[in-house]
Chain A
Amino acid sequence: MSNGTGRISILLAALAFALPVFANEKAEPDPARSPYWEPIKQLMFGDRMINPDDRNVIRVYLNTRADDASTVPVAVKAQIDQTDEDYIKSIYLIVERNPSPTAGLFHFTPSSGRAQVETRLRFEDFSFVRAVAEMNDGKLYMSQRWVKAAGGCSAPNGRNFVPEALLGKMKLRFDDDTITYGKPTLVQLMIRHPNESALASDFDADKVPQFVRSVRVSFDGRTVMDAQVDFSLSDNPNFRFFFSPNDKGELKIEVEDTHDRKFNHSLPIAEGAPLPGG
């Protein structure tokens, strides 16, 4: 498409002229040498050894060039199954250049099947996103990816406004049409919430931070996924994770936000019964 390449060259030329700061950050830096990571690492893990993972334990999946800095899909997937002897206890999801770097802390159990979570993040600047997996024996493994996106925390898009009546409303969607006991199924949880930091809004004195702080998914009282999160997650926080029931029961979601508001949602689960899929 000759029009396209011509314009892209003009765009790149203009960018090179106008954005000297960004020109240095176009090349992916060395993750081991990131100046932003050291203080975060110290604060969160102290002197504990973090094994750089060669993709055997945990992996981060995403597109390096983000299309929308306020909605960057990120998947963190364990490469091992959870067993009673050996399982991933927690996954820390860190966007090292965000105003609040710890986007989320996700807890799992042996009965989670696979420790896996997909969500959508805001990126304030070109940054590494790091997933640190903590095993039940305390060992830490890390995987990271470089993301080219900016403005996701401070420059909101048109979607952020959630009407009062819809705040906290939830929707569940399943990949499978029905449950089979003992078989892990991927479930998506969607929560209506602006999930904003109010960082951009100093023209609006009334604006206060308003974001989801915790999400607890349980089945028959047992935890499926337990997460502490903040405004590094996109508006209308969205999670995909595994769920593996062995008997019929109730899938329960409890959400809490910064205004101490609590939102609940539940769904009866039984083998053979149709699931909401959309």
Chain B
Amino acid sequence: MRWIEVTAAMLAAVGVLKTVTAIAVETAEIRNFEISEVAPGNYVHYGSLEERSPENLGDNANIGFIVGERCVLVVDAGGSLPVGRALKRAIRRVTQVPVCHVVLTHVHPDHFFGAAAFIEDGAQFIAHRNYPRQLAARARPYLSYLRRDLGKAAEGSDIVEPTLLVDGRLELDLGGRSVEVRAWPPAHTDDDLTVFDRLTRTFWLADLLFVDHTPVIDGTITGFLAVMEDLREIDAAHYVAGHGRSLAPWPQPLVPQRRYFVAILEETRAAIRSKKTIQQATDEVGLAEAKNWVAFDTFHRRNVTMAYTELEWE
């Protein structure tokens, strides 16, 4: 090829690349947003296990939807408006039935910042009774951290207040299919909800279950272990974790998480009994678990801090 043709080709390629990049930055759209039908009518998008970044646009949690004859119920909206929008487009690829309910499983940004995408649907935003109190305390810092991490791509991501609070169990009819939304005592946070699709016995646990990703304690470790005893009894044929995925039959995926929490619980209690300071405990507790989990360096020591400050009152 003559040099002028090569140069022209390169310039054209650069021109195309710049245009494509410009489009991508301006609309901050997520392409290749994959969903899997884990059970009939239950669709899941598995988020990245990595930390929030402009590359993943806060797509860091598992989210999805359940389709009834009359209604769609959304379980979590993702970590930013682009994620919520991508989920909405995925719903429309599957069904034209309206979104009636958006369940906000708990007050963590990777699960709720996409909720603004569903405001125009006139959906009910459903949350735990304790959710508004936590949201009020965290909304402003969460928004500023989102803007810090995602920059312009955070535009439009906003706090959405729940319109319906759950305290106990709530049964919802999606048209030919019944779904139970259940509020739990403090565990991962003090405002955890799960969703159970009765038709397929699919159990959406949100962050009451972590697979591969270091489980996070932002509520109470003893409470989390107690709730897990109840989770084990649920007769689930399929399940969806808040982070990660597994093929193991229910309730096996609870086993590694339980082992991790019990290690923290027992070693922290021992540390407290032998008069170790909180500093010593965070240095020493639970290190054998490091090889079993992703993002361990980011979350483990804070988990130990939470456990220590809880257990020292025993």
Contacts and interface: CB of A to CB of B under 8 A. Distances in A.
Contacts, number: 114
Chain B interface residue number, banded: 35 or more
Interface string A1-26: 10110011011001001110100000
Interface stretch (A98-106, A155-163, A219-227, A248-256): A155-163
Contacts of A113: none
Given A4-B296, A157-B218, A63 B279 contact: yes
B60 to A, nearest CB: 12
A248 B47 CA distance: 62
Contacts of A207: 136-137
B100 interface: no
B93 interface: no
Contacts of A62: 279
Given A7-B294, A67-B282, A118 B277 contact: yes
Contacts of A155: 138, 141-142, 145
B150 A18 contact: yes
A272 interface: no
A151 B141 contact: yes
A173 B137 CA distance: 32
A1 B290 contact: yes
Most buried by A among B141, B142, B291: B141
Nearest to A13: B53
Contacts of B220: 158
Chain A interface residue number, banded: 35 or more
Given A203-B139, A278-B312, A68 B53 contact: no
A58 to B, nearest CB: 18
Interface string A60-86: 001100011001010100000000000
B219 A158 contact: yes
Nearest to B300: A67
Contacts of B145: 151, 155
B301 A67 contact: yes
A88 B184 CA distance: 51
Interface in B149-202: 149-151, 159, 186, 189-190
Report whether over half of chain B's contact residues are helix, strand or loop; otherwise say mixed. helix
Contact of B53 (A18, A171, A278): A18
A161 B138 contact: no
Nearest first, the 8 A-B pairs at minimum CB distance are A204-B136, A14-B53, A155-B141, A67-B301, A203-B136, A158-B218, A68-B305, A73-B279
Interface of A: 1, 3-4, 7-8, 10-11, 14, 17-19, 21, 62-63, 67-68, 71, 73, 75, 118, 120, 151, 154-161, 171, 173, 175, 190, 192, 200-204, 207, 234, 236, 240, 277-278
24 contacts: A4-B290, A4-B297, A11-B298, A14-B54, A18-B54, A63-B282, A67-B301, A67-B302, A68-B305, A71-B305, A73-B278, A73-B279, A118-B277, A151-B145, A155-B145, A158-B306, A160-B137, A173-B312, A175-B275, A200-B137, A203-B140, A234-B309, A236-B313, A278-B273
